[in-house]
Chain A
Amino acid sequence: MFARLDRYLGFIPLNIQVMWTYRVRVLIFMINDLVLLLIQYFLWSAVFGGNGGTLGTISLGQYLSYVALGMIFGRLTACGIDGNVGGTIKDGAIAMHLVRPYSFFGEQVAQQVGFTVGNLLALVPFVVIVAFLVPIASVSLTTVALTVLSLALTYVLALLVAFLLGLVAFWITNYWGLFLFKDQAIALFSGQVIAFNLLFQLANAPSGNFPVPFLPEELTKGLLTGLGYVAYATPFPSLYYVPSAIATGMLSTPTEIAWHLGMQAFWVLAMALVVWLTWGRALKRVTIQGG
């Protein structure tokens, strides 16, 4: 697929240029992220503050780092190609792409790399603000290396998932609703609304307080644990939770880390297989109407 890499290289600067053209939009996304970060910052400060600065084994600083890193990593692995792929299929332009002398998937990957490099520049001011807001703990070189490895797996997985979602447009009329659905499902099951480590600790800690008094304690804990398990059965934690959790030391023992990296690798392979099969089936559905 990448036998002639230089065929694709042209897309990278092209996409950086696109990002630069829409710099106001990039800025707006940054402000949106900042709003969300501020809310999380104050919410978790109040929550941890109400409990003397720690919840279970997690400290406030650690959790804030998790939130901030999650946001930065989220931007780094953000994937815009689902809309691209979906749109190309919808308006029939896919036909023109199929006759070009390079693979459609390769083109999308190259576009995505350009998009990421463009995003990288936009992230700089954001990182500076985060550095002021959140106490950054010193981490070992091993942790950095493991985080980078995990982040790379997340990146590939995000790309595959986005490509797959784009392909679904072959079968579904309104993929906009599906994208909305994806975003919300990811927020709930990826560790974005609450880190799994914290969720499991909250579920297992002896509870002194029942937010909903008529629910028995077992059920309450079962619900929270169950949500964690359901989430772990999906690819979503691999898309968000793992790299930030490794970086902030929420996943610290070698076994834990190995398990999570293995899980990420599994999802990358599984998703690659699904994309490959879906692409084959989708191609059969292409009917070219003369244009």
Chain B
Amino acid sequence: MRRFFSIYAAFLSQQVKALVEYKLDFLIGVIALSIQQIGSFLVLFAVFTQIKAVGGWSFDEMLLFYGWSQVVRGIDHIYNDNIWLVGWWRIRDGSFTHYLLRPIGIIQHIIMERVQFDGFGELLVGFLLFAYAWLRLGLALGPAELGMLLVFLVCGLALYFGIKLAAAAVAFWTVSSGELMQVAYEVNSFTKYPLDIYKNVWLKNFLLFVLPFAVVSYVPMAWFLRDTAALSAALGFDVVSKTWVPVGMALLSAAFVGFGFVLFRIGLRRYTGTGT
């Protein structure tokens, strides 16, 4: 573990050098992704000058869902962006081979090879909206809540990680799987808004169980805002008790990470490189 972090730090310092060199590029990326957030916020803002609730949720509650979804997405974007290259190019052009020749774990290497600083735009705007909504809603913020937020954050990140890894691993069979990754990843856009507005059972269940991006933001935030009965009604099944929700989430996320790893391992055995 210490070795991992010391190598990570070495990689990071190289990237910071590049960042300082290309300040303008960094700025453009951050601003671009912030504009995206501001646009979504503006729609909500404009709409809520006329109406009081959407799908049973107030403006501040909608912001809470939106903000948290962008916090998780932003962090994932920052640390786990290099896997896209694996899906799109690395296996196709054979440059994946260099991961096999290094004395560190392949997935570790993929992660530390690139830090995507653009993601800070998403993270910052997301966090500000989330913090504002949290305060406005008068939610408590003690050690218990912070602990729960951390659990939810880890679950959300694990889900992203598992889904992206599994989709990228498909490239071992199909040479390139960037498109598949894109589709799987794009589904996360659904989590900007509460699940209740999707008035379609199939879609709801898809977002809860198949590509469970609803677990990233909707379920955790609804967990803070609603009681057991309301949660059960919204999710479409009896959650029995509030303690079971994070447990279920953790199991689901772990299953996705496990699936990603297994698929990656199996695929790796097929990898032959291109000889270049």
Contact = CB atoms under 8 A, between A and B. Distances in A.
Contacts of B189: 35-36, 39
Nearest to A26: B179
B35 A46 contact: no
Contacts of B180: 28
B31 A28 contact: no
B29 A180 contact: yes
Interface stretch (A202-210, A242-250, A258-266, A283-291): A202-210
Nearest to A217: B49
A141 interface: no
Interface in A3-33: 24-25, 27-28, 31-32
B44 interface: yes
Given A177-B29, A202-B49, A211-B49, A185 B40 contact: no
A177 B25 contact: yes
B202 to A, nearest CB: 11
B51 interface: yes
Nearest to B44: A211
Given A174-B25, A194-B46, A46 B197 contact: yes
Interface residues of B, number: 44
Given A46-B55, A212-B45, A174 B22 contact: yes
A184 B31 CA distance: 9
A42 B49 contact: no
A209 B25 contact: no
A46 B28 CA distance: 34
A100 to B, nearest CB: 29
B47 interface: yes
Contacts of B118: 180
A194 B43 contact: yes
B183 A31 contact: yes
B234 to A, nearest CB: 14
A190 to B, nearest CB: 10
B35 A211 contact: no
A193 interface: yes
Interface in B49-69: 49-55, 59
Nearest to B185: A32
A121 B59 CA distance: 41
A126 to B, nearest CB: 15
Nearest to A174: B25
A25 B181 CA distance: 12
B193 interface: yes
Contacts of B199: 42, 45-46
30 contacts: A32-B186, A39-B189, A42-B198, A42-B200, A43-B197, A46-B55, A50-B53, A50-B55, A51-B51, A173-B25, A174-B22, A174-B28, A177-B25, A177-B32, A180-B32, A181-B28, A184-B39, A188-B35, A193-B43, A194-B43, A199-B46, A203-B46, A205-B50, A207-B50, A209-B51, A209-B52, A211-B49, A220-B49, A221-B49, A224-B49
Q: Which 5 A-B pairs have the closest CB atoms?
A: A211-B48, A177-B28, A28-B179, A46-B197, A211-B59
Interface of B: 22, 25, 28-29, 31-33, 35-36, 38-40, 42-55, 59, 118, 179-180, 182-183, 186-187, 189-190, 192-193, 196-200, 203
